[in-house]
Amino acid sequence: MFGTLKAFAFIAGTLSASVVLGAATASDGGVIITLPPRSKDVGIKKVPDAAHPYIAPGPNDQRGPCPALNTLANHGYIPRNGIASFEEILAGTREGFNMDRDLAGFLAGFSMMARGNAFLNKLSIGSVSPQIPVVPGAIDGPAPPGGIAKHDRFEGDVSMTRQDFNIGDDVHFQIDLFDEFLSAIEEFGDDNALHGPKSIVNMKVMQEFKFQRFQESQAADKTVSFHSSRIASSYNEAAFILTFFANGTDGLLSKQALTSIFQNQTFAPNWFRRSSPGTFDFIVDTAAEVLAPHPIQPGANVNGVYVLDPTDTSCNAAYSDFVLNNLPKGTSSANPGISGRCGG
């Protein structure tokens, strides 16, 4: 599946960046979005630096289901109010995590199109904000964009530390789910002289915990949705954690660093970002390794029974699902002839 998704990821990244960059012109009242040059940073860097201290979010600051973005906002690597532009997200993910421009461009571009206002170049990393009005022409409906916390598109089922939308809180950190993550580290993690026994998150931890979360959601959520694009994003999230949350000093992800970002939404003491930019290829390859021991086929629960999506070789199911079900107008009543699945 991930061989196909590597091609899908490249196309989707190109699509996201190109559509966002063409979203507006100054003459029509929109904000011109620019793609910055690719960073050539090498060598580890301590994060946070003195210019980016932790400040807890205020009552009107937006925070959402992504612990990395929440952490970047709490340290001011992206705006502390949680309303960010395309360029600010690329700059923040580069400075905080040394994420490659193309990978960050896809994530920011997709999020902006799916749950932001690309015309004004504004995205909430949380929920609806009065700073972000309805998209011009109401092409995504009459309500303002929901931010990345709104269910579907960016946020989806089978999260590691958020419940499924239909059975619980899908936005905020859930300590009981994180405790399951810690239990997986206790069972499968590596020992470390500095951090102690069973203190390092390795590939085995992620492989087993991710599959456990799928089994739990499938059993508890009678409407769980795990179609191609959500499988891709879910396992890419796991790869992101292994790749970007690890300390650049030794490449290891400690339980302390994991807890600091997930639970406290701040960087751990003496944490350094990775030395080289994390790329699309590296993320997709890592995601494929996480999925490999327990392959999951795209599908959804129907009355509590997991029903596989139909196989159709006439199109790329992941790309079709991504475009038709995760972007504005893909499921609009203005386009009743557009199917949400290949062959539909």
What are the φ/ψ torsions at residue 10 (nearest 5 degrees)? -65, -45
Q: Is 190 helix (H, G, I), strand (E, B) or coil?
A: strand
Q: What is the pLDDT of residue 87?
A: 96
Query: CA quadruple 282, 159, 20, 78: dihedral positive or negative?
Result: negative
What are the 10-residue block averages of pLDDT along the chain, 344 residues in total?
A: 52 55 66 88 93 98 97 98 97 97 91 93 96 91 93 89 96 97 98 97 98 97 92 94 97 98 98 95 95 96 93 70 71 41 52
Structure tokens, 127: 């929920």
Q: What is the pLDDT of residue 137?
A: 87
Q: What is the pLDDT of residue 248?
A: 97
Q: Which of 344, 274, 294 is nearest to 315 (CA)?
A: 344
Q: Which of 326, 328, 338 is nearest to 136 (CA)?
A: 328
- The greatest distance separating any two alpha carbons of the chain, rounded to the nearest whole angstrom, comes to 61
The reported pTM is 0.91
Domains, the chain, ordered by start: 45-150 (no CATH), 156-321 (1.10.489.10)
In this structure, which long-range contacts are made by residues 299-304, counting pairs with CB atoms below 8 Å and at least 24 apart in sequence?
A: 299/226, 299/227, 300/223, 300/224, 300/225, 300/226, 300/227, 301/218, 301/221, 301/222, 301/223, 301/224, 301/225, 303/222, 304/222
Q: What is the pLDDT of residue 99?
A: 96
Altogether, the residues listed in the chain come to a count of: 344
* Contact criterion met (CB below 8 Å) for 101 and 82: no
Q: What is the pLDDT of residue 11?
A: 52
What is the DSSP secondary structure assignment for residue 136, as one 8-state letter? G
* Contacts for 116 with CB less than 8 Å, ≥ 6 apart: 122, 123, 124, 132, 145, 147
